Amino acid sequence: MTAPALRVGLLAMASIILGYPLILVTDARADETQSPNIIFIMADDLGYGELGCYGQKLIETPQLDQMAREGMRFRNFYAGNTVCAPSRCVLMTGKHMGHAYVRGNGGADVQGLRDSDVTVAEVLKDQGYRTALCGKWGLGEVTRDNPNHQGVPNLQGFDFFYGYQSQLHAHNYFPAYLWKNDKRIALRNEVVPAGRKDDNLFFKPGYATKRIDYSHDLIHTEAMSFIKRNRRNPFFLYLALTIPHANNEGTRGTGDGQEVPDYGIYSAKPWSNQDKGQAAMITRMDKGIGEIIALLDELGVGDNTIIMFTSDNGHHDEGGHNTETFEPSGPLRGKKRDLYEGGIRVPMIVRWPGKIKPNSITDHVSYFGDLMATVGELTGASVPTGLDSISFLPTLLGKPGQLTHEYLYWEFYEQGGKQALRSANWKAVRIPMFNGDIELYNLDEDLGESKDVSQDYPVVARRLEQLMNSAHLPNPNWKARGKSPKKRPAPGGGKTQF
C-alpha cells in the first residue's frame, strides 16, 4: 500500500472509532489530478490515415471522430516500434528501442519481460489502482518449457487479464481458447492448424473452420465488465485490441485473413471481401469504443476518466486486402516494418471532459514511452529512473512547461536491420542498421519523406548519426536478420496534416 493510501486508511479508521466525519484537505494541484481512471486503448496495425478524423474517406469511424471532437488529437505521435512486441515493450516500460529489453518479434524465449522490468501497470497498482489488461499482451507467455514465465500479465502488474498471452495466438479471431488470468478458457470454435509447428506452445497457429466465439467481442465484454466492477475505485484499463491485424495463417489457408463475423454496412460495397473485412473490423472496433464511453457516462465516471486511443504501429498489407483502396498511411511514406513515418507515426486521441479543451489539436512530438511519465505526473506516482519518458500532461491540460525530447529513436531487427531517429523537424533513417548510409528528411517541408537531403545538410546528418550511435545499447538477444531490402524510390509526399 502506498503512503497516501495508508494515510487515508488510518484516517478513515480513526473517524469510525471517534465518530467524527472524515474530511480530507488537498492542495489545488492534487485537486486537478486526483485519482482519475485511465483507459488506454490500442488498435493493432491501424494506419495513421484509417480514421475519419485523420482523413479517411471510406471507412466510417463516427465514435472515434466524436472522441476527437470532445478531446485532443495528436499529429506527431509515434509508436514504440514498427511491429508488435517491441512497441508494446516501449509502452509498458518507458524505454526506447536502444534501451528496451524486448526489441523484436523473436518468439517466446526472448520476447518476454523480466521480473526486474517495471511496467506502467505496476506503477499504478502501487498507487492504489485496480489494473486490467483485456486483449493482446505479447510480452511473455506460458509455454511447456517455461510454465512459470515472469512476463505474463498477472506478474507484470495486472490484477485482471483476459485475452491472448501470445501475439501469434492472437492472429486467430476465432481461437480454441483465451486466457483468463492464469486459466485457459475453452471456446466453441474449431481450429485447423496451419503454418509452423511448435510443440513448446499450448496452441497451434491456424484458422477456424467452425466460427462461433469472436475474440474481439469477448474481449470487449470483459473490458466493460471490469469498468462496471471498479466504478467506485480508481482503475487502469489497458485495452489492447487485435483489430485490424490480419490472421496470417488464415490468409495462407483461405486467401482471406480479415476475420470478422459480418461485413455490416460494407456488405454491398463493390470491394473484395478482404477490403470489406478490413473496413468492417475498424468500424466494429469504433462502435465498441463508443459503447465504453457511453458506459462511463452512464456510471457517472466519464468526467473522471481519461481515455487514450492509438495504434501499436503503422498499417499492414496482410490479410489479402488492397491497401490502395483506403490509403491507410494518409500522406505518410511506408507501412508496418518500415521506419519511415507510415510505419511508426500513429493516431493518438485523448478525451478527458472538463480537463482537455474540446476539438483541440497538438503538434507536440511524443511517443509510447511517454505514457510512463504521464501517468506518474497524472497520479503523483513515483516512476523508475533512467527512462526515456517525458510527460505530455501539460499539453493535454493546455498548461505551460511542456518539456520536449532531444530526439526519439527506433531500431528494427528484421530485413537486415534498420534505425531511425527524429530530432525536432529532422528525421534520419539508416538501412542497414549500424553501417548504412544516413538518409535525412526535413519533416516540416517533406512529410512524405520523398527527398533525402543528407548531401545538402551534412552537419545535420552527422549530428543525427552521432545521436543514433549513442542511443543504441547492445542487447545479446537481438541481432539483425535477413537481407536488407533494396531501396525503393520514395513516393511523392505533401505537407497535408489531418
pLDDT digits (tens, 9 = 90+) for 297-343: 999 999 999 999 999 999 999 999 999 999 999 999 999 999 999 99
| Residues 60, 111 share a domain | yes
In a domain, 2, yes or no: no
Q: What is the pLDDT of residue 200?
A: 87
Q: What pLDDT, on a 0 to 100 scale, did the predictor assign at position 485?
A: 65
Phi/psi for 454 (5° steps) reads -60, -35
Residues 326 and 424 in one domain: no
Amino acid at the residue 393: L
pLDDT tens-digit series, residues 92-104: 999 999 999 999 9
| Secondary structure (3-state) at 53 | helix
CB 321 within 8 A of CB 258: yes
Cα 219 from Cα 165, distance rounded (Å): 13
Please tell me whether the overall predicted TM-score, pTM, comes out greater than 0.85 for this model.
yes
The CATH number of the domain holding residue 419 is 3.30.1120.10
Q: What is the pLDDT of residue 8?
A: 34
What distance in Å separates the CA atoms of residue 26 and residue 31, rounded to the nearest whole number?
6
Cα–Cα distance between 498 and 349 in angstroms, integer? 12
- Residue 246 shares a structural domain with residue 388: yes
Which of 405, 421, 455 is the last residue before a domain boundary? 405
Residues 421, 97: Cα–Cα separation, whole Å: 11
Residue 198 placed within a domain? yes
Residue-wise pLDDT tens digits, 356-397? 999 999 999 999 999 999 999 999 999 999 999 999 999 999
Task: List strands edge to edge, sheet with 160-164.
Answer: 183-186, 177-180, 160-164, 130-136, 235-240, 37-43, 305-311, 348-351, 72-74, 360-362
State which amino acid sits at residue 42.
M
Q: What is the per-residue pLDDT for 498?
A: 57
Residues (pLDDT < 70) of the chain are 1-34, 485-498
Single-letter code of the amino acid located at 348: M
Structural domain total, the chain: 2
- Residue 398 cell numbers, joined: 493546455
Q: Is residue 473 within 8 Å of 388, Cβ to Cβ?
A: no
* Cα–Cα distance, 39 to 293 (Å, whole number): 10
* Cell 536502444 found at: 98
Domain holding 484, by residue range, is 407-498
Which three-class secondary structure state does DSSP give residue 368? coil
Q: Looking at residue 489, what is its pLDDT?
A: 54
Same domain, 138 and 270: yes
| 12 in a structural domain | no
Same-domain status, 324 and 218: yes
